[in-house]
Amino acid sequence: MDNKTRFTNLEMTLSFQERTIEELNKIVIAQQQRIDICERKIIYLADKVRNIDASDILSSSEEPLPPHY
């Protein structure tokens, strides 16, 4: 294999690797955005659960019977 062919192969390999890295970077960015959204939702839901007043929850004796009873 002559030097020109080897150089061409190296350029093609480098080009492929650069494209692959760019695609993977886009995927990582999208995943991080999803993670950020999920973290915000978890914090929001945890705050809602934390703020539930115990008096708002019916005891099992106060729960109405299901319609099939």
Over residues 38-53, the pLDDT tens digits come to 999 999 999 988 888 7
Kindly state the DSSP code that residue 54 receives in the 8-state scheme. G
* Token code pair at residue 4: 């020109």
List, in order, residues 6 or more apart from 10 with CB less than 8 Å away.
Answer: none
Band the pLDDT of 56: cuts 50, 70, 90. Answer: low
Average pLDDT, the chain: 89
How many residues in the chain?
A: 69
Band the pLDDT of 34: cuts 50, 70, 90. Answer: very high
How many Å apart are CA 28 and CA 21, to the nearest integer? Answer: 10
